[in-house]
Amino acid sequence: MKPASLSNKRVLITGIDGFTGKVLADTLRSQGAIVFGTTQNQNFVSDVISLIDISEQSAMKEFIAQFAPDFVIHLAAISFVASENKLSFYKVNVLGTEILLDSLLALPQKPEKVILASSATVYGNQTVHVLHEGLCPNPVNHYGFSKLAMEQLAATYFSQLPIIITRRFNYTGPGQANHFLIPKIVFHYKRNEKVIELGNLDVAREFNDIRDVAGVYRALLLSSAQGEIVNIASGRAVKLLDVIEAMNRLSAYEMEVRVNPAFVRANEIKELTGSPDKLVGIAGIHFSFGLDGLLNSMYLD
C-alpha cells in the first residue's frame, strides 16, 4: 500500500552523519518526518542519533527493536573506492546489511519501505554507454564487488520486506569530503591553486546534485514499488575536462591539470551514465539541477 505522506512517520537513516545522510535528513524533516539515525562518529551523537556499529548484531537488533522505524534508508557503507582496508567493504556493506535486515524482520510490525543504497559501480565496464538495470553486473573493484554481494543477499529478503535497492550514479554538493573528485577540484579553485593533479582524464561521469538525489529518496519512500533494483541516475554524462572548463569560467582563471600516475586506476570505468527510465516510471521524478548551478553552489559554500 502506498503511504499518503511522511508526516509523523519514523524514518531511520543509517550513516546519517555522512554527506548524503545530512541532506536527506533535512529533506525528510521538511516533509514532517521524524528522523533518527546511526553513526560511528562520536562527535555527531544527539538525542535522535545513536552511536552504533551496524555490523554488531546484538546492538543493532536492540536498537531496531527500541525505535521500530516506519521507513528505513540504509546509507551506512564504506564508500571511498580507493580505501586500503579491503575487508571493511565486506564487513560493513554486506554483513552490516544482513544484520540490519534480520533486525527488521524481528519487529512485530515490519517497515513500510526499506531502501538499500547500492552503487552504479556494480555495472563495471559494459559494451553500452547508457547503463540500465537489465544489464549483467560486472564490477571491477572491491567496492563494486561488495555492493553486488549486498544486492544478491538483499534479494533473498524481497518476499519478507518491502525493499528497493538503488544503484546510485555519481553525485556531489556542498559538504562532501574533499577526497572525492569534484570537491577536490572545487577546493583547489577556492584556494586559487595554479596546478591540480588528477588521475584518468578521459572519463565521463554523471555529476548529479545531492538535492536531486534527496528528492529521489523521498519519492521512492512514497512509491508503491518494492522488490526492485533501480538506478538513481539523470542520464547526463559529463567529461571530467568539462568540469575543469566550467570551473575555469566560474573562477575567472585557468588551472593547469597534470596527470599523476599514482592516481590512475588500472581498472578505471571509462563511462558511467545511467538510464533514468525505470526511476521515472516508479517515482515520476526528473533531475532538475544542472552542472553550472551545482559547481557554483560548491564554489560559494
Contact predicate 80/42, CB 8 Å = no
Distance between CA atoms of residues 109 and 124, nearest Å = 38
Q: Does 195 fall in a domain?
A: no
Q: What would the mean pLDDT of 241-251 be, rounded to a whole number?
A: 95
Per DSSP, the three-state class of 293 is helix
Half-sphere exposure of 132 (CA within 13 A, CB side): 7
Nearest 5 degrees, angle CA 289-CA 279-CA 90? 95
Q: Does 1 fall in a domain?
A: no
Look at the chain and report how many structural domains it folds into: 1
pTM of the model: 0.91
Cell of 9: 512517520
User: How much of the chain, in percent, has pLDDT values that exceed 70?
Assistant: 96
Q: What is the pLDDT of residue 49?
A: 87
Using one digit for the tens of pLDDT, what is the confidence trace for 112-157?
A: 999 999 999 999 888 888 999 999 999 988 999 999 999 999 999 9
Q: Are strands 204-205 and 271-274 parallel, antiparallel or unpaired?
A: parallel
Q: Does 257 fall in a domain?
A: no
* Weakest mean pLDDT among 22-36, 99-113, 150-164, 252-266: 252-266
Per DSSP, the three-state class of 251 is helix
Residue type, 247: M
Query: Which domain range does residue 113 map to?
Result: 10-170+210-234+269-289
Q: Are strands 238-239 and 204-205 parallel, antiparallel or unpaired?
A: antiparallel
10 Å CB burial of residue 145 (0-12, 13-18, 19+) is buried
Q: Does 114 fall in a domain?
A: yes
Residue type, 281: G
Q: What's 22's domain CATH number?
A: 3.40.50.720
Q: Look at phi and psi of residue 8 and say left if phi exceeds 0, alpha if psi is from -120 to 50, else beta.
A: left
Q: Does 275 fall in a domain?
A: yes
Q: What is the pLDDT of residue 158?
A: 98
Q: Does 247 fall in a domain?
A: no
Distance between CA atoms of residues 202 and 206, nearest Å = 14
Q: Does 242 fall in a domain?
A: no
Q: Does 190 fall in a domain?
A: no
Contact predicate 83/179, CB 8 Å = no
Q: What is the pLDDT of residue 1?
A: 60
